Amino acid sequence: MNTLIQDYASGDFFDELIAANGQPRAAARALFEHLDALDAAGLEERRQAVNAAIMTTGITFTVYSEAGNIDRAWPFDIIPRVMAKKEWTRIEAGLKQRLSALNLFIDDLYNEQCIVKDGVFPSEMLAGSKNFRTQCRGMTPRFGVWAHVCGTDLVRDGDGTVYVLEDNLRVPSGVSYMLENRQLMKRLFPELFQASVILPVDDYPARLHDTLAALSPRTGTRPVVVVLTPGIFNSAFFEHSYLAQKMGAFLVEGSDLVVQKDDCVYMKTISGLRRVDVIYRRIDDDFLDPEVFRPDSTLGVKGLMRAWRAGNVGIANAPGAGVADDKVVYAFIPKVIQYYLDEEAIIPNVPSYLCMVEEERDYVLANLDKLVVKPANESGGYGMLIGPRATPEERARFAALIKANPRNYMAQPTLALSTAPTLIDGRLEPRHLDLRPFILQSDQLYCTTGGLTRVAMQAGSLVVNSSQGGGAKDTWIVDVEE
């Protein structure tokens, strides 16, 4: 008998494919049986076929290093992560609930600030936010929506509970890899897609286009939508060009756009200037408009904020949306949901400690060897301390950083992240993972069916970011009788 999947040992963690009794979970039964019929050579052959397809297609990401920017092939594992539709339905409702509340929260902060006046959100928290843009005060974008595209990171703990780890509201990335992962898997396991009801993800580009088109200030005409990229050296440039192509939008850099005296944005073309209705921007606020933010920016468009505030162009995500994309603000989101929607959060937060609160700071400093400490505004897994794996010197350095700037740090317990079988050197081994679904909001709410599963390829590692050695899996939401 083939023993590749039979020999798989998930260890002491919740495994997404194999239950504690060693049997496959209901949603993964068809996958389990298929893997059981393959030997190591058969899986390796398919892995090599996928890697060849990745190289041929040019699916890459950029790693920034001291030696220069390095383009790398997308690190993809061929064993999918599987989840039952019944569980996903609840998660999807929780994600939509969360983004709805976040947008009400952002709009309130830039206008009446009722949540601050009512004492639910501390004024000192807002005052210490590096992503609160005073230039956006008094502005309400169309539909009252600031964050049109959100990538929310989910993790599962050892007892099976799914938590929100963080919200990404500025320029969330990764959705192109989710779409490409699915195409790779359809070519790799076509028989499984025929035998199982695996819910599709292919409609995302059309949904994104509809979300953006709804922001157009000109009604009755087909809107001109552009994707604003920093350029080919950006780590997510593959995604920028991919989404522009899939949506039928124009891929532009800041130098391709100009704001005229009528406070409208125009795109330079060989036929002359063409008015732009909606900008899907993939650059940070600081670089959007040198007239308002960083004067040395060559990535943005001079006068863009004037055009936006005049209502002559839609921008997604809106400038200033990052005020809610803060790992310290994150701790208040269950209260935000309760305040604006009068509902309990469907998906809980990971328990968190705010270092700006004296008692919580004292606890964090006394337990740095047990906690994960995160700065408020870093991303990609950078700038954080994983206490149980840190050296005494690293913990001492973080203690000094926390004492010097407590507003900038929060801490969480080290979760026993769930695992899934991953093909490592011809064997299936457990690797920790998370999940980033993508939620869209303008005149409607939409959530991807599943999302981008990121996996830590190193044994025991909790760091799933591709820039730090992580990989990815396709995510299958399976409609199955349980």
Structurally, the chain folds into a number of domains equal to 2
209 and 132 share one domain: yes
399 and 322 share one domain: no
Cα 98 to its chain centre, rounded Å, is 14
83 close to 478: Cβ distance less than 8 angstroms: yes
368 and 313 share one domain: no
Boundary-marking domain end, from 302, 320, 341? 341
Q: What percent of the chain has pLDDT over 70?
A: 94
The range of the structural domain enclosing residue 370 comes to 353-413
Boundary-marking domain end, from 396, 413, 430? 413
337 and 364 share one domain: no
267 and 304 share one domain: yes
> Rounded mean pLDDT of 114-132?
93
Lowest-confidence pick of 65-79, 129-143, 412-426: 65-79
Cα 324 to its chain centre, rounded Å, is 14
> Two tokens at 124?
């000192």
> Rounded mean pLDDT of 72-101?
92
Reported as a single tens digit per residue, the pLDDT across 239-277 is 999 999 999 999 999 999 999 999 999 999 999 999 999
Q: Is the pLDDT of residue 305 over 90?
A: yes
Does 128 fall in a domain? Answer: yes
CATH number for the domain harbouring residue 362: 3.30.1490.270
Does 105 fall in a domain? Answer: yes
Does 63 fall in a domain? Answer: no
pLDDT on residue 66: 43
pLDDT on residue 3: 61
239 and 110 share one domain: yes
353 falls in which pLDDT band (50, 70, 90)? very high
Q: Is the pLDDT of residue 69 over 60?
A: no
Q: Are strands 250-252 and 225-228 parallel, antiparallel or unpaired?
A: parallel
Residues 430, 191, 154, 244, CA torsion sign: positive
Boundary-marking domain end, from 392, 413, 434? 413
235 and 367 share one domain: no
74 falls in which pLDDT band (50, 70, 90)? low
For 146, 205, 316, the CA distances from 331, given in Å and listed in that order, are 20, 31, 25
Q: Is the pLDDT of residue 1 over 70?
A: no
Q: Is the pLDDT of residue 280 over 50?
A: yes
Nearest to 446, CA basis, from 209, 280, 224, 109: 209
pLDDT on residue 56: 72
357 and 328 share one domain: no
Q: Which residues contact 325 (CB under 8 A, 6 or more apart)?
A: 131, 167, 168, 169, 170, 377
309 and 364 share one domain: no
60 falls in which pLDDT band (50, 70, 90)? low
Q: Measured over all CA atoms, what is the biggest interatomic distance in the chain, rounded to whole angstroms?
A: 75
142 and 210 share one domain: yes
More confident residue, 196 or 111: 111
CATH number for the domain harbouring residue 299: 3.40.50.11290
> Rounded mean pLDDT of 330-357?
96
Does 159 fall in a domain? Answer: no
68 falls in which pLDDT band (50, 70, 90)? very low
pTM, two decimal places: 0.92
pLDDT on residue 402: 94
Q: CB count, 10 Å around CB of 385?
A: 22
336 and 234 share one domain: yes
Looking at every residue in the chain, the average pLDDT score rounds to 90
Residues 449, 452, 458, 463, CA torsion sign: negative
Does 54 fall in a domain? Answer: no
363 and 322 share one domain: no
Does 360 fall in a domain? Answer: yes
> Two tokens at 23?
């049997």
